[in-house]
Amino acid sequence: MQVTYDLMEEHKLIVKYIDLMDQYIHLNQANQGEAFFLEKADIFVSFIRNFADTFHHAKEEDILFRYLEVPGVLSHCNPLPQMLFEHDQGRHFVQLMKMAIQNGELNHLIENAWNYGQLLRAHIYKEDNILYPMAEAGIQDKDKIRLLDEYREAEERMSSQAIWIEYKDKYKTLEEHLHEMQLACSKPAIAM
């Protein structure tokens, strides 16, 4: 019985968004004076807040981490304070991204989006390879059944199916827009 499979699937979408965000940043840095990233950054911030934080981190903080705090589950070390600290750091970067969008500050936006991406990539690597295997090994089957029930309740409460569809669709739209912009930028200017 696995209790981290769905969380790892959520990580995959988060990493896809971070990869796409990096591509927007690179295109914008290669084309100074344009604002490709600034124009679409609200969608990235909405994904990070609604999917990565409200949805995914809520399942971790409110459910999985509680089961990991049961005495005896984490036998070697306790990575939870560091994981919670990194969630808060991520929220801070996203807040700074939001402020940069409001003030139209592209460089500030890029700096904080980049910091967020770096942080989350490393965070997800640690969860996938250290924390989640500890959870699978340490949580007893009877508790895993209760934990999975709690996930189901949380997913219903947060309309998990709708949120997945919404952000997969938005990802496709962002990806298509990026390709159009990459094509437009690669065309040589017509000599007058």
Stretch that binds Fe ion, among 29-37, 52-60, 70-78, 158-166 (CB under 5 A): 52-60
Smallest distance from the beta carbon of 21 to Fe ion, in angstroms? Answer: 17
65 is an interface residue for Fe ion by CB under 5 A: no
Instruction: Write out the two tokens for 10.
Output: 């959520």
Closer to Fe ion by CB, 144 or 177: give it.
144
> Residue 190 is which amino acid?
I
Applying CB under 5 A, which part among 37-45, 60-68, 89-97, 184-192 lies near Fe ion?
60-68
Listed ranges 31-39, 54-62, 162-170, 175-183: which one lies at the site for Fe ion (CB under 5 A): 54-62
**Single-letter amino acid code for the residue at 81:** P
| Least spacing, CB of residue 18 vs Fe ion, in Å | 13
Which of these ranges, 27-35, 44-52, 122-130, 162-170, lies near Fe ion under the rule CB under 5 A?
122-130
Give the per-residue contact string, 11-50, with Fe ion (x = CB under 5 A; - = no). ----------------------------------------
CB of 86 to Fe ion, least distance (A): 7
- In terms of CB distance, is 31 or 89 closer to Fe ion? 89
Give DSSP secondary structure letters for the chain: --SSHHHHHHHHHHHHHHHHHHHHHHHHHHSTT--HHHHHHHHHHHHIIIIIIIIIIHIIIIIIHHHHTSTTSS-S---HHHHHHHHHHHHHHHHHHHHHHHHT-HHHHHHHHHHHHHHHHHHHHHIIIIIHHHHHHHS-HHHHHHHHHHHHHHHHHTTHHHHHHHHHHHHHHHHHHHHHHHHHHHSPPPP-
Interaction between residue 127 and Fe ion (CB under 5 A): yes
Minimum CB separation of residue 32 from Fe ion in Å reads 35
106 touching Fe ion, by CB under 5 A: no
Number of residues that bind Fe ion (CB under 5 A): 2
Cα distances (Å, whole numbers) of residue 185 to 36, 37, 104, 176: 11, 14, 22, 14
The residues binding Fe ion (CB under 5 A) are 60, 127
